Amino acid sequence: MVLLSSSPSLSITSPNYRYSPSRRLCLCPISATHVVTPHHIDKSSLTISETSSEDQLWAAARLRVRSFNEFKPSTFGIQLLSLPNDDLCAQCKFIENGEDRVVVGTLDVNQCMSLPDEITGMKPEGIEGQFARGYLSNVCVANELHRNGLGYDLVAKSKAVAQKWGLTDLYVHVAVNNEPAKQLYMKSGFVYENDEPAWQARFLDRPRRLLLWLGLPGNQNW
């Protein structure tokens, strides 16, 4: 898990983790210490790193719930969303080396042949595919910090991590109607490989998805 974190004046932390039968790896993204306006940050204060503590994972999980879900906290008895004014710094805070930090972005790197209920990448071919293929998932940046290039920074970090793991091919799924996400991934070097059948999307009750591919440095097809 990659974490992007900063001090409470406004911080970013994002998680990235690697799946394998016995191992999870997390990365810490960048964080911002000073906020110029509600939508702009001082990137010089941001740090990207691998997740290394349970507190970071909990902060990242709270950011994901805050970003991906829309429901009343009382409906499910969830306390993490009932903080005053849905405050990012209060909800997604963790302590690192005695300093308050805030997770503002997360991203998971999964080392596996495929993700559940998703179209599967075809590269590399053969038995080595299960060891050399990776998928990005749960790409998330706090709503307050969109349009600051933080998603691009997270994806860039994930490519470096995937290469360190020995991966040669990286995939990501994106909804066909999610233009900002498609632009982010294509700016990061991903290209179209396949798309989800319409019947499968209807069966799963979600927008149809595209599968984008990136060959990492060292890949003979890159």
Q: Where does residue 118 rank: exposed (0-12), middle (13-18), buried (19+ CB within 10 A)?
A: middle
171 catalytically annotated: no
- Give the torsion through C-alpha atoms of 176, 182, 186, 192, to 10 deg: -10
d(CA 71, CA 25): 30
d(CA 132, CA 121): 11
d(CA 222, CA 216): 7
Q: Which helix (H) or strand (E) holds 130?
A: helix 129-132
**With contact defined as beta carbons under 8 Å apart, do 61 and 54 qualify?**
no
Cα angle at 2 between 188 and 191, to 5 degrees? 20
d(CA 152, CA 146): 11
d(CA 135, CA 17): 10
Catalytic hit among 17, 135, 171, 185 = 185
d(CA 160, CA 114): 20
d(CA 75, CA 166): 44
Catalytic residues: 185
